[in-house]
Amino acid sequence: MTGTKTLIRDVRPDDPRDAGAVARVRRVALPFMVNTPAGVAYEVARAHPGSHLRVLIAEDRDGLALGTARVGIAHDSPEPGQGFVNAYVDPAHRGLGVGTALLRVAEEHLVARGAVDSYAWVLDEPAHRAFAERHGYRPSRSAHFLGLDLASAVLPPRPEAASLPAGVELRPGSAFAADPRPLFEADAEVSADEPSDLPVELDDYADWLDGVWNDPTLDHELTTVALVDGVVAAFSAARTDGVDRYSSAMTGTRRAFRGRGLAKLAKTDSLHRAREAGYTLAFTGNDTGNGPMLAINRWLGYEIRATEIRHAKTSGAVR
């Protein structure tokens, strides 16, 4: 509770009003990501048991959602005891103690589940940084949100089959509907090389199907996969909200195929098809030290819209 005005509770996965409220708060608090009620409901209902995931919602006495938090254990990390918490407060209701109340409940949950460390993303704004540091979190690394007005952007030419390098083919993710395992293997390899202070190992195909492939915000048709001689070499995964927002969820190239411009081809193709499908806003994110991907995004016309800083409570400080 914050005084007597704010109630913190778990989202009810079978209540569409809860899912809609969480999606709304996330969208106004962090408008550079794709959030939908269907995605929230799926996230809660299909979470891996080892993640001990909770999605919290903060409400006032009239049932209005003021904020939300996502908290759990990084079950796909090789390091045990790694927790995460990301809290979002509606900008219209900041400064009322909502974030503090959410964080308190979230950290109690992490301690109960054996977490010794906790990681959180925080917008690079004075008030957000001060909030994190006041609660014992210290900055570790940063990432940019980038945006593109897809409706009016002058995109590089769409890659045509006749102009592709020998042996290279671009296909939509939907072409792998019958057997997405090659995409899982590519995602696992690319994710292992992603800059991170919390390493991830994607080694559970069933979990990947539940957590990634079957997520309703993952747009199989707008995802582009680059094959070299029939082998998955690179991909640009797309998430959409079904209305106007498109987001590059992950773009990467497998180690043996890097340096050939395949990620650039895949991302360009996906953006063209997203515009043809009627999406007008495109977003993506990059670690601030990921020069190659930042260069590709600048070439595509993306501009930095905001920066997030990863904060951590480590060495058992979460206790």
What is the set of domains in the chain, with CATH numbers? 7-115 (3.40.630.30), 147-307 (3.40.630.30)
1 has a pLDDT exceeding 80:
no
Q: What is the mean pLDDT of residues 148-170?
A: 96
At residue 5, the pLDDT reads: 77
Share above pLDDT 70 across residues of the chain, in percent, rounded to a whole number: 97
At residue 3, the pLDDT reads: 44
At residue 314, the pLDDT reads: 85
Q: What is the mean pLDDT of residues 144-151?
A: 97
- Calpha distance 93→218 (Å, rounded): 31
Share above pLDDT 90 across residues of the chain, in percent, rounded to a whole number: 88
